[in-house]
Structure 1
Amino acid sequence: MSGDPGAAGPVKNRTGTVRAAGCVLWRRAPGGDGNDVEVCLVHRPRYDDWSFPKGKLKRGEGPLAAAVREVLEETGHHCAPGDRLPTSRYPVDGRPKEVAYWAAEATEGSFTPSDEVDRILWLAPAAARAQLTQPRDVQQLTALLDALATP
């Protein structure tokens, strides 16, 4: 066992739920009128899926800090977190998992492929909706679009 306090495994709450956090990362579409947005999807080769950047909380880490860290680790982009989005709850290997999400605008950075995330896509919302592997992720995308439409 290493001396890293986060190496002990995923953070669980008192009910045994694995806690994770992520963001629906977005940016203004290049060349658009300033109102068009693109969202970032990550491809995880281990699962061969397309989703939003997310990951497990480290011991002592808050959900928002974890979400911002995961965006940077998985996409190479810094971000400015915004509105809280719906929490996703689902079982993984027979254990409950809870993922807290935020809307986050990409500020700067560039993607470098890794073993965990080998590709990212910046897509218009309709294309992102069609590309998402898990139907449950559509809830966060819809909430992001609602948040961005609210003045």
Structure 2
Amino acid sequence: MNGAVGARGTRRAVNGPVLAAGCVLWRRSEPSGRLEICLVHRPRYDDWSHPKGKLKHGEPALDAALREVLEETGHHCVPGAPLPTARYLANGRPKEVAYWAAEAAGGSFVPGSEVDRVSWLVPEAARARLSQDRDRELVDALLALLPDL
């Protein structure tokens, strides 16, 4: 069968959307225990977003999401529930990004050319800093999953 695997494992036509995956990375701050969300700054676009990136050929979306979190933030993570898939146009082509909630499990950030800064922010501050409304919606979805945090 000719096609590519969609963000959540469905078959897509080869000329379908660009497939990507990422996570809304979170942790409990020390010592308050408050929820903090990790945002990445991409100097190429001068924007703040959640860690994400394109799937490699044959790579499952969740594997790509975990790889991208590690590459962009330096943190390992424990994936949780899926979050809404973002669908939008990027450079005139449809893009589909599958997201998961993911708890940080240790690591440290090293700046690079793709991501030069990360910020751990409480949800209200993360919503304010995010460059795209679709990324703010992911914060809301995370908060709905983690009401006790």
Instruction: Judge same fold: TM > 0.5, yes or no.
Output: yes
Extract structure 1 runs of 4+ deviating beyond 4 A: none
Counterpart residue identity of residue 28, structure 1: R
Name the % identity: 65
The answer (yes or no) to whether the contact 1:23–1:103 under 8 Å persists in 2 is yes
Return the offset for 1:136.
1.1
Aligned partner of residue 31 in structure 1, secondary structure: coil
Return the offset for 1:150.
6.7
Long gaps (5+) in structure 2 = 1-6
Write the deviation string for residues 27-59 of structure 1: whole angstroms up to 9, x where unpaired: 001111x3x200000000000000000000000
> Aligned equivalents of 2:47 and 2:76: distance in 1?
23
The residue aligned with 1:97 is 95
Write the deviation string for residues 1-40 of structure 1: whole angstroms up to 9, x where unpaired: xxxxxxxxxx9931520000000000001111x3x20000
2:78 to 68, 77, 80: 80
The residue aligned with 2:4 is none
The residue aligned with 1:52 is 50
- Once superposed, what is the RMSD of the aligned Cα atoms? 1.7
The residue aligned with 1:29 is 29
Long gaps (5+) in structure 1 = 1-10
* TM-score of the aligned structures, taking structure 2 as reference length: 0.89
The answer (yes or no) to whether the contact 1:50–1:131 under 8 Å persists in 2 is yes
Counterpart residue identity of residue 128, structure 1: A
> Aligned equivalents of 2:108 and 2:50: distance in 1?
16
2:110 to 109, 112, 121: 112
Counterpart residue identity of residue 74, structure 2: G
> Aligned equivalents of 1:135 and 1:113: distance in 2?
25
User: Structure 1 residue 13 and structure 2 residue 33: aligned?
Assistant: no
Aligned partner of residue 149 in structure 1, secondary structure: coil
